[in-house]
Amino acid sequence: MSSLMGYGASLRYATLQLPRPAGANNHKRRVGRWRSPEAAVIPNFHLPMRSLEVKNRTSAEEIKSLRLITAIKTPYLPDGRFDLEAYDRLMNIQIMNGAEGVIVGGTTGEGHLMSWDEHIMLIGHTINCFGESVKVIGNTGSNSTREAIHATEQGFAVGMHAALHINPYYGKTSLEGLVSHFEAVLSMGPTIIYNVPSRTGQDIPPAVIHTIAQSANMAGVKECMGNGRIKEYTDKGVVVWSGNDDQCHDARWGYGATGVISVTSNLAPGLMRELMLGGKNTSLNAKLLPLIEWLFCEPNPIALNTALAQLGVVRPIFRLPYVPLPLARRVEFVNIVKELGRENIVGDGDVQVLDDDDFILVGRY
């Protein structure tokens, strides 16, 4: 209350010392140089919009223990709306195969192609239907701090267990700005910071992470800058998940990573669980690498969307600007599945190549 009264008082008594208009009191000569008025410093009196009665409320310590987190795919109906029946099947596949957490509306889930209404609805749907079986981490990050705050408040209000936050992309900020941006959302609940300079155009350096790691809600970092950076953090007690599927085995068993936030586990959740929980296994890692390399032959999630359509577990529908992989790559995927064993890949039917005309590209949705 005192802070609010102080704020009101500062508005009542603050005055701006502006230069006088030309000709006013010109019989008096102004002495000295005119100085620009200083901006009023307005205290931040906003309290976090949070509830202590949220169902499935989770601590940062619980999030820190997760070893396999799947960045879940968002499937679509022919008109571009969410296909919730297909989404539920994907979620059940993840749970049955041992995924411990999911990222909802991340890069893989195409959160950047969603309205915030869609985004929060999907987080709410996921926690409502599956929140007792798997940890639900909502991607509520934004390059606008205002949007990140609002979306994170809503995400926790509908019950998500943790938030995923990226650094402001495109309109990049200073290191001090990064700290302020993350501190603005950390008060709301358990948080994973996501560092992927190839997409944001800006690295989150260790100095920033170590500063915000002092928050009790800081669960850890999804790190895409390689295993050297991961070891730098884990040596100092910061929890890290590898953001690179092709490096996650070594990150887990050689560099101290807790686990992986994975794209590949959308297709092979059982094998990825074994890779993260079953101990060092270089032969399994080598067996998975052709699939992983194929998945990232174009920007994610293009290949994943194509693969899930070929497997028949989602409709072959793309929200633009994503388009399916070309025919030669689709044929290559059929052969990769044969090498891995059809029983190790999601879905029940035969893998189809699909014709170009089988895919629907949606620009308005």
> Nearest CA to 153 among 179, 97, 191?
191
By the 8 A CB rule, do 346 and 267 touch? yes
**Which stretches of 96-141 are assigned E, i.e. beta strand?**
101-104, 135-139
- 8 Å CB contact between 110 and 74: yes
Residues 76, 87, 135, 222: which is the catalytic one? Answer: 222
Q: Are 68 and 261 in contact (CB under 8 A)?
A: no
CA angle 227, 258, 183 (to 5 degrees): 85
Angle at 322 between CA 318 and CA 326, to 5 degrees: 90
Q: What SS3 class is residue 192?
A: strand
- C-alpha 231/C-alpha 302 separation (Å) is 30
Identified catalytic residue from 194, 233, 255, 322:
194
Catalytic residue list contains 231: no
The amino acid sitting at 238 is V
Question: What letter would DSSP give residue 48?
Answer: P
Q: By 3-state DSSP, what share of the chain in percent is helix, strand and coil, each rounded to 5? A: 45, 10, 45
Pair of tokens at residue 4 = 């609010």
As a whole number of angstroms, the distance between CA 210 and CA 200 comes to 20
- Quick check: is 135 catalytic? no
Active site residues: 194, 222
